[in-house]
C-alpha cells in the first residue's frame, strides 16, 4: 500500500485541523461557532446548547467544499 501526499487546501478555504494525519478522509462539512466560516452554512439547522454558568451557545454546520447545483 502506497502513501499518498496530503492534498493542500486551496487558498481562502478552510484549514482542517489534523488533515495531514488523515489524508484519505475528505470531509464535506464541519462544525463551527461562526456560520460564515469556511464556505458558509450548510443546509442543516443550527444546534443550540447550554453551557454551565454561561449564556447559551449555537453550533453551525459549515461547508468545506463549494455547494453543487
* Full pLDDT tens readout for the chain, 69 residues: 444 444 444 545 577 777 778 878 888 888 888 888 888 888 999 999 998 888 889 999 998 877 766
pTM of structure: 0.66
Q: How many domains does the chain have?
A: 1
What distances in angstroms separate CA 11 from CA 14, 27, 51, 52, 55, one per listed residue?
A: 9, 17, 35, 38, 35
SS3 label, residue 16: coil
DSSP 46-58: -EEE--TTS--EE
The position carrying cell 460564515 is 36
Q: How far apart are CA 58 and CA 36, in angstroms?
A: 13
Judge whether 41 lies within some domain.
yes
Give the residue numbers spanning the domain of 31.
Answer: 27-63
Judge whether 38 lies within some domain.
yes
Amino acid at each position: 500500500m502506497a502513501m499518498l501526499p496530503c492534498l493542500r487546501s486551496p487558498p481562502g478555504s478552510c484549514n482542517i485541523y489534523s488533515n495531514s494525519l488523515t489524508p484519505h478522509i475528505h470531509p464535506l462539512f464541519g462544525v463551527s461557532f461562526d456560520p460564515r466560516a469556511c464556505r458558509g452554512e450548510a443546509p442543516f439547522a443550527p444546534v443550540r446548547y447550554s453551557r454551565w454558568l454561561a449564556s447559551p451557545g449555537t453550533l453551525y454546520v459549515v461547508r468545506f467544499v463549494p455547494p453543487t447545483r
